[in-house]
Amino acid sequence: MALTVTKTGPFFNGTNAPSNTTNMKFSQLRDTFRLNNTSGAISASELLRDVDTNSADPIVPDATENVAIASNPINTASNWKVSQFQGAIKFFDIEQDASDNNANFNISAITQFNNNLGKTIKKKLILRGTHTSTNTADAAAKILTDVFNLTLEIHGVFYGAGGVGGTSSSLSGTNGGAALSINGGRVTVDIKSSGRLWGGGGGGEFGGDGSAGAKGSCFRDNTISTCGGTLSCPPGQVLTNTWTGGCCELARYCAGPWQSFCHNYCVRNTSFGNCRETVDSLLPPLATGGNGGAGRGFNNFTGSLLGSSGANGVCPSCADSSFTLVAGSGTCSGDGQDGGTGGEWGLNGTSTTAAGSGGIGGKAIIGTGYTVLGNNSNTVRGGI
């Protein structure tokens, strides 16, 4: 990570003007530290180190480099002296190189700030690099402690993580992640035209199930027969039609002298019948919806946002292949709904008819204690 530190100072130590280490004058202190009014007299009480974190523009800021200067309110253990200003500074700036690429960048851990983030000295962090997250619970860049009088000058890009689409075991899409998280204090976020603070999109909801189908009827025909008896179907079957077949019983007749002339004749024909067995078909299963689409984010920078297709509906069918479905009986189940579309940068994922919801779009900035400059639809995607 390439960071360049620039301090306004140190003064009265033989380097930056005023560089004299002795014979320091009140006018020099006034011109160096009271920049909003460099005319007129200045008193020693104005030149106490201001440790009040409510001070947005301290004359003599609290800083690690200024620790020798007596603070306000002054006490007898630390009498104020002009000589205490040797090596004092007024401002503290850090600039990041544009080639820097950081995941979940922890600004509060930058050691180059020399423990000044929580102090009243006015600070600027110029951010030119790329800052990313693939975890919706962790912002692309973050400040984890209260900081005061810090300006974040945004020239680089910050991309939050996109939410995951809903599934059959977890219907709702997850929320998108933040681009920048600020714990609290007093921070100015100054977004330049090239800057991007883009929260991740929410995941799409799992698709709703298709409409329920209804059972149909299945039949199986069996042929029975009798020779002279009564046609009777087995229990649970219905005789649907009958017909007559060929002769099933013959009789012999003889006549003439000595009964010498004989012939056979039919006394009974075969009776046939059709017995129909009718049962319910299988209940068509519900067609489930498709998975929700992933939201836009650094983990889904250019991929599709579309949810998966829902399953096709199923029509009634017979459990046994020896049965035939009665035409027109029953109802097919409806097609499952496609999964909801994932949200673009900072936008919500689409909801469906399932019992969950689309994920909420990630914010550009979350937290407290900040003001924002330069935000527009291009520099900021998601809430601030």
Whether the CB-CB separation of 366 and 351 falls below 8 Å is answered with: no
Measuring CA to CA, which residue among 112, 74, 56, 67 is closest to residue 89?
67
Measuring CA to CA, which residue among 218, 150, 142, 154 is closest to residue 180?
142
Question: Over 90: is that where the pLDDT of 259 sits?
Answer: no
DSSP structure class, residue 61 = B
Q: How many CB atoms lie within 10 A of CB 60?
A: 26
Share of the chain above pLDDT 70, in %: 99
| Banded pLDDT at 47 (limits 50, 70, 90) | very high
290 vs 336: CA distance, rounded Å = 7
Average pLDDT for 111-136: 98
Tokens of 264: 């056979």
Task: Write the burial class of residue 170 (CB in 10 Å: 0-12 exposed, 13-18 middle, 19+ buried).
Answer: middle
Whether the CB-CB separation of 56 and 111 falls below 8 Å is answered with: no
Whether the CB-CB separation of 123 and 345 falls below 8 Å is answered with: no
Whether the CB-CB separation of 152 and 189 falls below 8 Å is answered with: yes
pLDDT tens digits for range 199-245:
999 999 999 999 999 999 999 999 999 998 999 999 999 999 999 99
Question: Over 90: is that where the pLDDT of 379 sits?
Answer: yes
223 vs 236: CA distance, rounded Å = 15
Whether the CB-CB separation of 179 and 197 falls below 8 Å is answered with: yes
Question: Over 80: is that where the pLDDT of 260 sits?
Answer: no
Whether the CB-CB separation of 239 and 233 falls below 8 Å is answered with: yes
Question: Over 70: is that where the pLDDT of 77 sits?
Answer: no
| Residue whose token pair is 């409806």 | 334
| Residue whose token pair is 């229990």 | 235
- The domain segmentation of the chain, as residue ranges, is 218-280
Residue 18, preceding peptide bond in cis (omega within 30° of 0): yes
Q: Please, which residues bridge with residue 196 across strands?
A: 157
Whether the CB-CB separation of 88 and 9 falls below 8 Å is answered with: yes
Element of type H or E holding 248: strand 237-255
Tell me what the pLDDT averaged over the chain comes to: 95
What CA–CA distances, in Å, run from 292 to 114, 173, 334, 359?
Answer: 47, 7, 19, 10
Element of type H or E holding 32: helix 26-33
| Banded pLDDT at 74 (limits 50, 70, 90) | confident
Question: Over 70: is that where the pLDDT of 76 sits?
Answer: no
